[in-house]
Structure 1
Amino acid sequence: MDRRDALFGTGLLALSALATIERVSAQETAPAETSHMHHGGHYQALADSAGVCVSKGQACVSHCIHLLGSGNQDMAACATSVSQMLSLCTAVQQLANQNSPHVPALARIALDACSDCASECSKHADQHEPCKACMESCRACAKECRAAMGT
């Protein structure tokens, strides 16, 4: 084991401990009426939709990278939009699962990223299945973002 592996392992251990402490703390300080939130919260549909978007987006960006590596530069804009969508939808999924009061504000930004991503993926959807699946999941997530924003 070299020093880099040891530092990486220590970092993972620290993150795991922090997550456990935060989860226990949240359970101890949660009001009684939220004790059933594990059954699905106010933003459950958004969390689920964002999760699908992340999964489909990861497959799409991997596909784009493969094509870029083969010299297909047409996929650069798609890879960029998917990458940006992934960052935001991951955050949306996490906050929606926590029923965070920040969800509506983040959903407004994620809506733009999902719309941009769906637009880019639509250019390749008839040729590449990962792009089509990503486009469809982004459209569904955009719909849930609008619902979370109350529009």
Structure 2
Amino acid sequence: MPVAEMVRTYPGDLGGLDRDALVRCIEECVACAQSCTACADACLSESDDMLPQLRKCIRTNADCADVCETTARVLSRHTDYDANLTRSVLEACAVAARTCGDECESHASHHEHCRVCAESCRRCERSCRELLDTLGRGAGG
């Protein structure tokens, strides 16, 4: 996997981050951003009478995709690593993924794309929380 290979080849110290948790989190953030983008687009393709019910889902998908993409980019940069910024970004991503997952889950029984997106959001939230746990155990800053 390119993410694992890039993390493995980083020439400097990762500030005490758990490499496996870091790789997993970057991968899940990228996957979640893609799922949310696709889900928002699928919602827009539903029948016109469904759009009012899906408006919040579309907005939540867009917000989550943006936060996940930003989180993946921040986590991919290690030079002069700032643990406080990383914690804040991970917290925001976990909240965005939880919020989006909850919203998509509320539509999952009627829209398969929402079910798939909700699952992706749950994995992303878990991976952010796992990486936050490793930061809480004294990773650099």
TM-score in same-fold range (> 0.5): yes
Deviation at 1:83, TM superposition (A): 1.0
CA distance in 1, matches of 2:117, 2:73: 19
SS at match of 2:130: helix
Kept in 1, the 8 Å contact 2:21–2:130? The answer is no
Deviation at 1:103, TM superposition (A): 2.3
Which structure has the higher relative contact order (CA within 8 Å, separation 6+)? 2
TM normalised by structure 1 equals 0.68
Corresponding residue for residue 71 of structure 1: 49
Overall identity of the aligned pairs, in % = 20
Kept in 1, the 8 Å contact 2:37–2:65? The answer is yes
Cα RMSD of the aligned pairs, angstroms, is 2.3
Counterpart selection for 2:71 from 92, 104, 115:
92
Matched, 1:127 2:106: no
Q: Counterparts of 1:105-120 in structure 2 under 5 Å?
A: 105-120=88-103
Query: Which of structures 1 and 2 has the bigger CA Rg?
Result: 1
Consecutive unaligned residues of structure 2, counting only runs of 5 or more, are 1-9, 14-18, 137-141
In terms of fraction of residues, the more helix-rich structure is 1
Deviation at 1:71, TM superposition (A): 2.8
Please identify runs of 4+ aligned residues in structure 1 that moved more than 3 A.
31-34
Counterpart selection for 1:144 from 121, 127, 130:
127
Corresponding residue for residue 5 of structure 2: none
Deviation at 1:33, TM superposition (A): 3.5
Counterpart selection for 2:62 from 53, 64, 83:
83
CA distance in 2, matches of 1:32, 1:128: 45
Counterpart selection for 1:104 from 67, 87, 90:
87
Matched, 1:52 2:68: no
Deviations 1:74-117 (A, max 9, x none): 10111111111011001011111224533221010111111110
Counterpart selection for 1:61 from 32, 40, 45:
40
| Count of residue pairs brought into register by the alignment | 116
Deviation at 1:55, TM superposition (A): 1.2
Consecutive unaligned residues of structure 1, counting only runs of 5 or more, are 1-30, 35-39
